[in-house]
Amino acid sequence: MVIFEKTLASVESPYNGRLKVVKSLAWGTYIQAEGLTQSGGVVESIWKKVLGKLKKKNLEVKNCLILGLGGGTVAKLVNSTWTQAKVYGVDIDHFMVSLGEKYLGLDRKKVKIKVADALDFVLNELKRRKKYDLIVVDLYCGSKFPEKFSSDKFLKLVSKIISKGGVVLFNKLYTSDLKTRKSALILGRKLERFFDEVEYFYPQANLVFICSKPSIHR
């Protein structure tokens, strides 16, 4: 069987290494970083499952913050799931954002985009007392999840900018590699210290933590 696959663009990123835009018959157009799909393709199918689960919980989303916007896959799905929601996307890699705009339909009219470090952005939002109903944390640089985004400091900051009744989603790889699985489960235990409820959801080779708003006394 012949599998059609074509590289539409390739660029070297200081944050994600080699970025490639690939078009295939099986998965459509998607962006890879160092061979790992970051936006479009299989990633879209994963997030459809996650957001579909939230929709069944009757979560109301008026504003959504995506930390790790990538090529805009999650933003597109949020826009179609909660049509009235205001979506804000943050990514440190302007190459990734540009490829999303050119090849995946990332639209600045529908998503307010900020090219910045996620930790700095969250610190600023806390100072502004900004709150979000849905926060998506998908902060991979290639296949690596920077340690600072699993630190107590970062988790506490995120817990403080979620609105009452809101949800934070943390995405971690969960492959057959034991080190990767251990890292994901360690993060899960840490999240349980900052949020009232942490649900473990396994959509594919990922573990997504669905975290509810922390208690008032925290």
Q: Which residues contact 40 (CB under 8 A, 6 or more apart)?
A: 27, 28, 29, 30, 31, 71, 73, 104
Residue 218: what pLDDT?
Answer: 42
pTM for this model (two decimals): 0.94
Kindly list the structural domains of the chain, giving each domain's residue range(s) and its CATH number in brackets, ordered by start. Answer: 39-212 (3.40.50.150)
Q: Which residues contact 20 (CB under 8 A, 6 or more apart)?
A: 7, 9, 10, 31, 32
Structure tokens at 196: 């009232």
Give, for all 218 residues of the chain, the pLDDT tens digit. Answer: 456 889 999 999 999 999 999 999 989 999 999 989 999 999 999 999 999 999 998 899 999 999 999 999 999 999 999 999 999 999 999 999 999 999 999 999 999 999 999 999 999 999 999 999 999 999 998 888 999 999 999 999 999 999 999 999 999 999 889 999 999 999 999 999 999 999 999 998 899 999 997 544 44
Q: In angstroms, rounded to a whole number, what is the distance separating the alpha carbons of residues 46 and 206?
A: 8
Q: Do residues 74 and 66 lie in contact, with contact meaning Cβ atoms separated by under 8 Å?
A: yes
Q: Which residues contact 213 (CB under 8 A, 6 or more apart)?
A: 159, 162, 163, 164, 165, 166, 167, 195, 196
For residue 98, give the 3-state DSSP assignment. helix
